[in-house]
A and B are shown apart, each in its own frame.
Chain A
Amino acid sequence: MPLTPHPKAFRAVASAAAGIAVLFLLLPGTLLAAEPQSAIEAAWWVWVLLLFVFSFVLGIFAVLAGVGGGVLFVPIVSSFFPFHLDFVRGAGLMVALSGAISAGAPLMRKGLADLKLGLPMALVGSLSSIAGAMAGLALPAQTVQLLLGIVIVVIATLMFLSGKSGYPEVKVPDALSKALHISGIYYEESIKKDVSWQVHRTPLSLIFFLMIGFIGGMFGLGAGFANVPVFNLLMGVPLKVSVATSGLVLSINGAAAAWVYMFKGAMLPLIAVPSIAGMMLGSKIGAKLLTRVNTSSVRIIVVSMLAVAGIRSLFKGFGI
């Protein structure tokens, strides 16, 4: 059945987009100045409130565009808010982790998030996410900002170009996945049928999850943007199972890396909590709008936002 965009939903998304645009227009005057100190003159509660509203709007867009919160949160907030990148990355991890945790239980009960698929990936990913967080906090801030810019621009490009496969067919599972019995069945409501799945290329995927964990920990990104394509396109996991299991992996990797941020003093509740609250509320609204909004248009907006934030990070990294 073709999806007819709902005018009210369009208005809501347009308002959210306008909100972001206004924020972008208002903020640069102070925030894009060379010295961030000029931006802290506003009362603290103004920034906290702005952060909550901003995270709320990002939460709506994140769901509609099918990306995690962290990948949008870190580059945009670090580019346009006065907080140091250290605290933004700490908050970004918590945003991604909290979202995954709050959505996890129903997805597991439905058999969409799969423990046997997720646990081996989380095991290697959590080790590298700790290493990534340590590396990110040890490197000079400008270098991290520059690398973040590169990573975000690459992600935006991949999101623009990459495809996805609803029900990939895996004819022969690999030896490791067979030994571990990594396979499953879930009930697909849209076609009213059970869908069985099995996987291949598990050893190669473990290497990918090692790299993804490192990047996620280093930049405080949720890394769902990378987990999902590896599950879906590389291993041959159905898209819905990939998205849900990515949340499980992310919740474990995020929890591991968050400790590094906490012990390095890079976790400020003042910043992290409104970000978590805003993103979670926004995600709930986004989920309600999901069936009524033209998600491909939203995806283009989000990719554009990511590209702008990535380029801005690159400029900051170059000291421009």
Chain B
Amino acid sequence: MKQEPADKPHVHKEQLAYAGVLDKLSHFAILFLAGSYAAYIFQLLPRKVSIADIAANWHLRAPLMQEKLDAPLGWSFMSGMESFWRGDALSYFAIILICMIPVVCLLVTAPAFFREKRPVFGVIAILQVLILLVAATGVLVR
């Protein structure tokens, strides 16, 4: 069904809120990803596990490699500043940042849904955040 052009875009406020946060966070996350990877590869920061060791074992299944190398896993690198301030941990943290972007966007959007009198979608957004946060705790895979 086609209509004549409208004077203003037909985008809901909550969608614009989601897009605004997504725009800022995605740019930041990509810059962080590039910077932390450079620090990792060029050894600007110490590493927990050497790249040579990872390369020698990357043909193994993940649990086997983990058993041999004890590489960053889940939130393990957050146990202290020393374990966080490493090239491989920061690069891993950049990946986590990317995975957290939808959570932040939905948290910002959920109240907007309620304000705009679309409570069902507010509830869906909150449920989605809960699912993502439960996944981020790692309880499902322990």
Contacts and interface: CB of A to CB of B under 8 A. Distances in A.
Interface of A: 36-37, 39-40, 44-45, 47-48, 82-84, 86-87, 90, 94, 97-98, 101-102, 104-106, 108-111, 114-116, 119-120, 122-123, 126-127, 130, 134, 137, 141, 167, 169, 180-181, 184-188, 191-197, 251-252, 255-274, 276-277, 280
B94 A108 contact: no
Contacts of A274: 37
Given A194-B6, A258-B99, A40 B62 contact: no
A104 B20 CA distance: 10
A164 to B, nearest CB: 18
Contact of A255 (B20, B101, B125): B101
Interface string B6-31: 10011110111011101100100110
Given A115-B109, A181-B118, A255 B103 contact: yes
Nearest to A116: B121
Contacts, number: 222
B45 interface: no
A185 B10 contact: yes
A296 to B, nearest CB: 26
B124 A120 contact: yes
A11 to B, nearest CB: 29
Contacts of B142: 263
A187 B120 contact: no
A39 B66 CA distance: 21
Cβ-closest 8 pairs across A and B: A265-B66, A44-B55, A105-B23, A269-B91, A266-B62, A108-B19, A259-B135, A86-B62
A40 B3 contact: no
B107 interface: no
Interface in B65-112: 65-66, 71, 73-74, 88, 91-92, 94-96, 98-103, 109
A108 B18 contact: yes
For the residues of A in contact with B, the DSSP-based class is helix
A40 B55 contact: yes
Given A83-B59, A104-B19, A262-B96, 20 more contacts: A44-B55, A97-B98, A98-B98, A101-B26, A108-B11, A108-B22, A109-B11, A111-B9, A116-B121, A119-B125, A169-B1, A187-B10, A255-B101, A258-B99, A262-B74, A262-B99, A263-B73, A270-B51, A270-B88, A280-B30
Contact of A185 (B3, B41, B61): B3
A178 to B, nearest CB: 12
A215 B26 CA distance: 26
B17 to A, nearest CB: 10
Interface of B: 1-6, 9-12, 14-16, 18-20, 22-23, 26, 29-30, 33-34, 36-37, 40-41, 51-52, 54-56, 58-63, 65-66, 71, 73-74, 88, 91-92, 94-96, 98-103, 109, 118, 120-121, 124-125, 127-128, 131-132, 135-136, 138, 140-142
Nearest to A192: B5
27 contacts: A83-B59, A101-B26, A115-B109, A116-B118, A116-B121, A123-B127, A126-B131, A130-B140, A187-B10, A188-B2, A192-B5, A193-B3, A194-B6, A196-B3, A252-B128, A255-B132, A255-B135, A262-B138, A264-B63, A269-B36, A269-B94, A270-B54, A270-B91, A273-B33, A273-B91, A277-B34, A277-B37
Contacts of A37: 59
Q: In this complex, which of A98, A104, A268, A269 has the most chain B Cβ atoms within 10 angstroms of its Cβ? A: A269
